[in-house]
Amino acid sequence: MTLPQDEPINRGQSPVYPRFIRAYYSNSHCQESWIKIRPWLIFLPTVYLVVEGIRMTSFLPRPEPLTHDFLQELKRTTEARWSSQSIDPELYGFQFQQGTRWNAGLTDQKIEEYENSLRHRFPRDFKVFLGAMNGTDLPTLNVYGDSGFPAQQSIGVYSYPRDIDVIRQRIAEVGENRDELSTTLAEQGFNLPGDAGLVPIYGHRYVMCSSDPDSSVVLSIADPTDAVVYGSSLREYLENEFLDRG
């Protein structure tokens, strides 16, 4: 079964960084990597890269972790917006309905149960996020602008255990062409580890679950040939997706 493309309103390609810098900011930090772009010698305040088929090490600061204060700001800002905004009849793409709220967070026991159900260990930031908010309560709505197509509902931010069947289906679909997906990301300079799990958080945005618990890269995967790094960390992703800071 192919699920409907419950894509959030497209805000463009992966924000903030040029692809050759974004790729290194998104990889585990201070690791050896290969890159395949034209010869460059790049000097930035926090970046020193020598490239073109040379094994090298990138030195970059770790992304800012999620904090209680940030998540409270996220909750307060988004719920205030959703309390007053109406569905825009001219937009294509799924929109949050008026009155949408975040569900209460999960206990540590429930987060562990969620991990076990998917056989993935979540990054620390994803656990912090789930402990504060467990998806949104109302479905999103796509009115397809002025196309005349009937409106369609979809899940907002995924919630456990409510959406576990859809979450598993998403994981299965994104895994069907894993090699092609890895190639697409490699062409952008991003290495998708072979053992990394991809857990959907909203629409076709996926949190990467790797062996590094401090890495919480978020990928946007419409299909195996249309995928980008959408956030070098979960915090950056949340800022771009929900706080319009991208």
What does the block give as tokens for 129?
A: 């996020």
Domain count, the chain: 1
pLDDT digits (tens, 9 = 90+) for 90-122: 999 999 999 999 999 999 999 999 999 999 999
Residue pair 118/169 in contact by the 8 Å Cβ criterion? no
Range of the domain at 179: 19-242
Let me know if residue 26 belongs to a domain.
yes
Q: Is residue 94 part of a domain?
A: yes
Q: Residue 12: inside a domain, yes or no?
A: no
Has residue 226 been placed in a domain? yes
Is residue 7 one of the residues assigned to a domain?
no
Single out the residue of 158, 68, 178 nearest to residue 114, CA to CA: 158
As a whole number of angstroms, the distance between CA 119 and CA 113 comes to 10
Peptide bond into 61 cis (omega under 30): no
Q: Note if the pTM is more than 0.75.
A: yes
- Domain presence at residue 8: no
Note whether residue 180 is domain-resident: yes
Closest CA relative to residue 141, chosen from 150, 133, 132? 150
Specify if 155 maps to a domain. yes
Which distant-in-sequence residues (6+ apart) come within 8 Å of 53 by Cβ? Answer: 34, 36
CA distance 242 to 12: 14
pLDDT in tens, the chain (246 residues): 444 445 554 444 444 433 333 433 333 333 333 333 333 333 344 443 434 443 333 444 567 889 999 999 999 999 999 999 999 999 999 999 999 999 999 999 999 999 999 999 999 999 999 999 999 999 999 999 888 889 999 999 999 999 999 999 999 999 999 999 999 999 999 999 999 999 999 999 999 999 999 999 999 999 999 999 999 999 999 999 999 886
